[in-house]
Structure 1
Amino acid sequence: MRCTACGHRYSLLKGEPESYSAEYFLEAHRNWFNNPNTPLFQKVTDGLRELPAGARVLDVGCGKGDFLKYLHGQRPDLELCGLDLSPNQDVPGITFVQSLVEEYEPTEPYDALVTMAVIEHIDDIQGFAQKLSDLVKPNGLVVVMTLDDTSLLYKLGRLFRKFGINIIYNRIYQAHHLNHFNRVSLQTLLERADMELVEYHGHNVPLAAIDIPATGLLQKVLRAGVWGVFNLSELTGNTYLQTLFMRSKR
C-alpha cells in the first residue's frame, strides 16, 4: 500500500509476521551480518564526535553488536549499551539488554541513540519514533538508518515486476519489511516525534553484504547487476539506504 500524501509504502501482511530466529541471522541474511557496513559505522562515529567522555550511547536493535564494538574501538571512553530481542553476552565496554524497545525503561536517558535497519520492521512506527525521542536527553542525538523506497534499486524492482521478473521485488519487499520509507516520510515521522534534522546521508551497503537468493552463474550475474546499480545510484543520488541524524527538541 502507498500513502498518496507522502509516498510512504507499507505492507499488508497475511498471517503471522516473520519471526527472528537464529536462521534469520545465520542463513537467510548471513552476508548482511557477516559483512558489517564499516563506512557507515565510521560516518555515525564521526557524528558522535562531540560527545564528552562518559557519555551514554544506546543502539536499539543492535543485532550482534557490530556497531557498538566498532564504536568502542574508536571511543573507549563512552558508556555503550545494546538493546535487542536476541541475547548477547556483555563484552568489555559494552552492556547488552534483551528486551522489546517499548518495554525498555533505563534508569536515565541517553546522550545519543543509534538504530540501524530496524524501523522498517516495526508495525507501530509512530510509537517507535516517540520512544526513540523519549530515550535521549533534551538535545540528544538520534541516528536512524533504513531503506529508501525511492532508490534506484527499489524503482528497478517495481519496474521489472511489471514484466514478470520478481526476484528483486520479492527481496526488497520481503515479509519482515513492514514499512518502506522515503526521505520525506521518514523525516516527517521523526519530526512529529519532537526531533529536528541535523544531517541527511544517502548511501549503499557493501556489495558483499547483499544476500542474493540464487546460486552459480545466476548469482554472479545478479551480483554484477547490483554492483552496476549501486555505482549508478551513487552518481545520481538514488542510493539504497538512508541515514538521518536527528536532534531531540524536548
Structure 2
Amino acid sequence: MKSSVFFLSYSICLWLMLLIGAPALLTVVNADELGETPNIRENKLSASEQKIFTLLKTEFPGELLRDEFKTLRKLSEHKRYLNYLSETYAAEKPFKKFEQFPKNVLPPKERYLKYFQEHFNVKNVDEITEREHAIFHQLSEQLWKIDVQQLHGKEMTPDAMMPFLMKGIMNKDVQEWMVQRKIVTQENAGPQIGQFLLSLMVFNLDIVIKDIEGTKTLLETHGQNDGLIRLAIQKPLLFARILSSFNDTDVFLTWTKRRRVQ
C-alpha cells in the first residue's frame, strides 16, 4: 500500500473524527478534585532490586527532583544501574546508554492484549506477533506523548495532533499491518483509519491512567525520592517514558494527580 494513495482521504477524515472525539477522550482532571485516592499497595523489592536500590540511594542522597530532572537523568546513566538493566533484560537487544533501553525493550504483550481481544478477536498473547507488538507499541507511545503535551501548555487540537498521528500511520510497516489486520481497505481508508485511531485513543487513555496511578502509588507509599528510585528499578520503561516527556518538576507532579473523567 503506497502512502500517496491514502494520505489526502484519511487526513481529512481523521481530522473530522478527531474534532468530534478527541476533546472528550483526553479530558482529565486533578484527582484531588474528584476526591479519589488510589489504593496504596506493598511493593517489595527482590534481592537484586534491593541491592541496586541501596546503591542508588547512596549515590543520589539528595532531592531527586531539585534540579528539573537533571539528577534523575544522571541516575539513568549510572553504570551500575545500566548493568542491572542489562542483566535483568539479558534476552533483549544490548544497549550502552539508557536512551537506547526503551528502543530495544518492549513492554509485555499483556499491556495491549485487551485491545487485540476486543478488536481483532485475539484470545491470548501468543496470537500477537512480535512485529505487530512493536508496531502497536509505537502507536501507543505516540498517543502517550500527545497526552503529556497538554500539560506543557500545548493545546492538543485536532490540527496539533495530526503531525504526531500521521508520523506513525504513514510508516510503511504500519500501513501493511493495518491492511493485514483489515483495519483499512484501499477503497475506504480514511474513515476506517479515523475510527481505528479513535478506538486506540480510548484504549490508550486507560494505559496513561494506569501509568499515572503506578507512579503516584510508588511516590505516596515510599516518599518522593525512594519512590522515584523504585520506579527506575521496577518500572524502567515507564521511567524512560517520563524522562523523555518531562523536564519540569511541577508539570510532572501535576501529571501524577490526573485522572480520567468518567
Q: Give me the TM-score of the superposition, normalised by structure 1.
A: 0.31
Structure with more relative contact order (C-alpha pairs < 8 Å, separation 6 or more): 2
Identify the structure with the greater strand proportion: 1
Larger radius of gyration: 2
Identify the structure with the greater helix proportion: 2
Q: Give me the TM-score of the superposition, normalised by structure 2.
A: 0.30
